[in-house]
């Protein structure tokens, strides 16, 4: 009887040690939002609000496409990671290249966040899928 009790205590100790040494499983990486399609982007700056049409082609977490507004069209590239989105492009403003970066979050068929106009300041943006 004493041997059975010793074996049960030893078995319980082995199981508890095994459980204590196990690391919890890492949560799965968030699935990237699917942004492919046509969007209307409203960018708000010190100069007011401006709408642009945005086409998005998505391959995995990479996005690319074209933004078209009254001022013309520009190609952009970016990424989407879970609900986080970032994209940008360079335009020539009166002979000087100006980098414009957007970063924000995606919720369903909408995006919103911050727009940075190089050294000329910041604004906000919202976007809605067509």
pLDDT per position as a tens digit, 60-98: 999 999 999 998 999 999 999 999 999 999 998 888 999
3-state secondary structure of 29: coil
Chain position carrying tokens 């074209």? 66
Q: How does strand 72-81 pair with strand 62-69?
A: antiparallel
- For 69, phi then psi, to 5°, come to -135, -175
Q: In this predicted structure, what is the pLDDT of residue 57?
A: 98
Instruction: Collect contacts of 72-75 with beta carbons under 8 A, ≥24 apart.
Output: none
pTM of the complete model beyond 0.85: no
| DSSP code of residue 130 | -
Q: What is the CATH number of domain 37-129?
A: 2.40.128.120
Q: In this predicted structure, what is the pLDDT of residue 9?
A: 45
Q: Return per-residue pLDDT of the chain as tens, 130 residues.
A: 554 444 444 444 444 555 555 566 666 656 678 999 999 999 999 999 999 999 999 999 999 999 999 989 999 999 999 999 999 999 988 889 999 999 999 999 999 999 999 988 999 999 999 9
Q: In this predicted structure, what is the pLDDT of residue 33?
A: 82
Give me the residue spans of the domains in the chain: 37-129
């Amino acid at each position: 009887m004493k041997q059975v009790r010793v074996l049960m205590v030893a078995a319980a100790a082995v199981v508890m040690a095994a459980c204590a040494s196990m690391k919890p499983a890492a949560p799965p990486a968030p699935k990237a939002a699917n942004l492919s399609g046509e969007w209307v982007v409203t960018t708000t700056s010190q100069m007011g609000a401006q709408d642009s049409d945005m086409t998005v082609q998505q391959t995995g977490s990479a996005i690319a496409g074209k933004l078209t507004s009254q001022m013309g069209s520009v190609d952009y590239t970016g990424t989407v990671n879970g609900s986080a989105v970032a994209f940008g492009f360079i335009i020539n403003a009166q002979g000087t290249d100006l980098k414009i970066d957007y970063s924000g979050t995606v919720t369903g068929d909408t995006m919103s966040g911050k727009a940075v106009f190089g050294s000329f300041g910041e604004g906000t943006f919202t976007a809605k899928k067509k």
